[in-house]
């Protein structure tokens, strides 16, 4: 089966054909670095990482651009309220620039912990202010802007196609917002450039033809996608919350400036929920990667957990589900480790089956289920292992480098295990069985690999 991906633009599965043969231009909306990212954010980044891996397994080279939002994302996700960065600065007592650096560094660290491949280009909004100003000038030239006392706005009524991605009910939105419009002409109009108010004493502000201020949130993605990937590229991703506002406005800006809907495919990762509510950094226990580590989990267990749900379904997080993921992952790791050295070739039939699952809109849950089928199959261990290592190019669970933690094995257990290994190698089965019984009595079980054994606690 050739690769098929669900495109939010058409609301359908489409066969994926790159615009340039052999290459994919991919833009994914990155983190807003006013605080740590929560594991919900990482569910989206993990989905995008899975997509990249599947594209590569289909023989495509991926040029991946991700932005860092370090200015302009207002607390409301719209055009009101404080800039998240300036708010973060007040909360922590650090400068807006310092918190951007701190949380960007933490984000990069988390990517490593979760085994997420680094983007080809990671670009900051604040490093691309002239590009954003030039982009707004282009939109202005085409006649889509107006100026209020608050900033430069996009007049969405002038754009016939506005809101198609989100299938927005423009008339309904307009009717609902009539009283709150202020100087905005239409409910869906959005800021391209906001003026600094002297009382705000902003730390991040720049001169622009319309007045000193800062860019609206959406313009950074249109401008950086344009700079690094051109007017029209293959795939644009983000979380499902971006469909109706952020991506709708990115498309609107790019269509106004360049007559292109920016990207050929629009893909969205569905939310991670907690207790039926959206995750929030301000509410209760802050679910960050470090919290998982502090509680004794391997961050890769969270990666595994995300593989068990399709990216187009919401997933409710619970510690019990993470426990189950950690146990399943550990079993799989141990099992693969005990298979010994991998053969030179994976099993072609299983790999073809695996690719069919992945190419069916990234069906990772079914691809993962195939792992157990391979493990239980009667293939020789070396071929099994080569096949599972091939699968791991998509999973990113790090099977090849994983080693059982043997530091925790008590000395007396180790002595019995070594004796049993020696008895087994000397084909003294009776003694080997006796020693296995001794190990069980000590609360351990021993699995024999080709060249080594592994011990697990019962
Ligand atoms: P932000 O840091 O808010 O700019 O978000 C970074 C990415 O995480 C975006 O693609 C969001 O759509 C996504 N995101 C935010 N909250 C969640 C969540 N609860 N589950 C999955 N993805 C999310
Ligand atoms: Zn974006």
Residue 84 · residue 75 · CB < 8 Å: yes
Q: What Rg do the C-alpha atoms of the chain give, in angstroms?
A: 26
206 and 311 inside one domain:
no
388 and 297 inside one domain:
yes
Residue 389 lies in a domain: yes
Residue 400 lies in a domain: no
263 and 323 inside one domain:
no
127 and 38 inside one domain:
yes
Interval between CA 40 and ligand 1 midpoint (Å): 6
Ligand nearest to the CA of 103: 1
Residue 404 lies in a domain: no
Number of domains in the chain: 3
Calculate the alpha carbon distances from 118 to 42, 221, 299, 406 in Å: 13, 18, 17, 31
Interval between CA 103 and ligand 1 midpoint (Å): 15
Q: Last residue of a domain, which of 269, 303, 319?
A: 269
Q: Distance between CA atoms of 222 and 217, rounded to whole angstroms? A: 10
393-446 pLDDT per residue, tens? 999 999 999 987 766 788 899 999 999 999 999 999 999 999 999 999 988 888
Q: Distance between CA atoms of 367 and 394, rounded to whole angstroms? A: 9
CB neighbourhood size of 196 (10 A) = 16
E strands, 109-197, in order: 121-124, 145-147, 151-154, 190-195
* Ligand 1, atom 19: closest residue by C-alpha: 40
119 and 235 inside one domain:
yes
| 431 torsion bin: left (phi>0), alpha (psi -120 to 50), beta (else) | alpha
The CATH number covering residue 344 comes to 1.10.730.10
344 and 257 inside one domain:
no
**Entry field: residues in the chain:** 458
CA angle 253, 258, 262 (to 5 degrees): 65
Residue 197 lies in a domain: yes
Residue 401 lies in a domain: no
134 and 37 inside one domain:
yes
Ligand nearest to the CA of 32: 1
Residue 406 lies in a domain: no
46 and 122 inside one domain:
yes
Name, of 189-203, 279-293, 359-373, the range with top average pLDDT. Answer: 359-373
E strands, 44-199, in order: 61-68, 121-124, 145-147, 151-154, 190-195
CB neighbourhood size of 95 (10 A) = 14
Residue 145 · residue 158 · CB < 8 Å: no
114 and 189 inside one domain:
yes
235 and 137 inside one domain:
yes
Ligand nearest to the CA of 77: 1
The CATH number covering residue 155 comes to 3.40.50.620
252 and 350 inside one domain:
no
270-325 pLDDT per residue, tens? 999 987 555 666 556 689 999 999 999 999 999 999 999 999 999 999 999 999 99
Q: Last residue of a domain, which of 252, 269, 286?
A: 269
Residue 40 lies in a domain: yes
Q: Last residue of a domain, which of 269, 303, 336?
A: 269
Domain that holds residue 169: 4-269
Q: What is the pTM of this model?
A: 0.89
Ligand 1 binding pocket (C-beta < 6 A) is: 29, 31-32, 37, 40-41, 43-44, 69, 238-239, 241-242, 269, 271-272, 278-279
Residue 402 lies in a domain: no
* Ligand 1, atom 5: closest residue by C-alpha: 31
110 and 230 inside one domain:
yes
140-194 pLDDT per residue, tens? 999 999 999 999 999 999 999 999 999 999 988 888 877 678 899 999 999 999 9
Neighbours of ion ligand 2 (CB under 5 A): 29, 221
């Amino acid at each position: 089966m050739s690769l098929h991906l669900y495109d939010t633009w058409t609301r359908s599965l489409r066969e994926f054909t790159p615009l340039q043969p052999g290459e994919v231009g991919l833009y994914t909306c990155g983190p807003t670095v006013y605080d740590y990212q929560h594991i919900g954010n990482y569910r989206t980044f993990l989905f995008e990482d899975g997509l990249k891996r599947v594209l590569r397994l289909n023989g495509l080279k991926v040029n991946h651009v991700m932005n860092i939002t370090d200015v302009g994302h207002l607390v409301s996700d719209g055009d009101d309220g404080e800039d998240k960065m300036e708010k973060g600065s007040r909360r922590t007592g650090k400068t807006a620039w310092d918190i951007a650096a701190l949380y960007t560094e933490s984000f990069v660290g988390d990517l490593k912990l979760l085994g997420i491949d680094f983007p080809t280009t990671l670009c900051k909004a604040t490093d691309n202010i002239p590009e954003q100003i030039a982009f707004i000038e282009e939109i202005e030239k085409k006649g889509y802007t107006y100026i209020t006392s608050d900033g430069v706005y996009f007049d969405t009524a002038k754009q016939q196609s506005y809101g198609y991605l989100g299938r927005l009910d423009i008339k309904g939105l307009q009717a609902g917002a009539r009283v709150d419009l202020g100087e905005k002409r239409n409910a869906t109009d959005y800021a391209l450039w906001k003026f600094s108010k002297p009382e705000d004493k902003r730390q991040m502000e720049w001169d622009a033809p319309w007045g000193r201020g800062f860019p609206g949130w959406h313009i950074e993605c249109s401008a950086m996608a344009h700079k690094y990937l051109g007017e029209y590229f293959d795939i644009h991703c983000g979380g499902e919350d971006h469909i109706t506002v952020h991506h709708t406005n990115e498309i609107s800006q790019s269509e106004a400036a360049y007559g292109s809907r920016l990207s050929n495919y629009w893909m969205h990762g569905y939310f991670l929920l907690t207790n039926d509510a959206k995750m929030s950094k301000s509410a209760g226990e802050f679910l960050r990667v470090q919290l998982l580590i502090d509680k004794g989990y391997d961050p890769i267990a969270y990666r595994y957990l995300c593989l068990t749900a399709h990216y187009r379904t919401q997933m409710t997080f619970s510690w019990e589900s993470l426990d189950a993921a950690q146990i399943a992952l550990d079993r799989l790791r141990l099992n693969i480790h005990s298979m010994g050295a991998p053969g030179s070739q994976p099993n072609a039939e299983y790999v073809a089956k695996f690719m069919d699952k992945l190419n069916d809109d990234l069906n990772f849950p079914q691809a993962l289920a195939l792992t157990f089928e391979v493990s239980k199959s009667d293939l020789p261990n070396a071929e099994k292992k080569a096949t599972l290592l091939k699968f791991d190019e998509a999973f990113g669970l790090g099977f090849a480098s994983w080693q059982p933690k043997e530091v925790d094995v008590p000395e007396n257990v180790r002595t019995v295990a070594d004796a049993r290994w020696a008895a087994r190698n000397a084909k003294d089965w009776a003694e080997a069985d006796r020693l296995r019984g001794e190990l069980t009595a000590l609360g351990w079980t021993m699995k024999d690999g080709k060249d080594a054994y592994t011990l697990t606690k019962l």
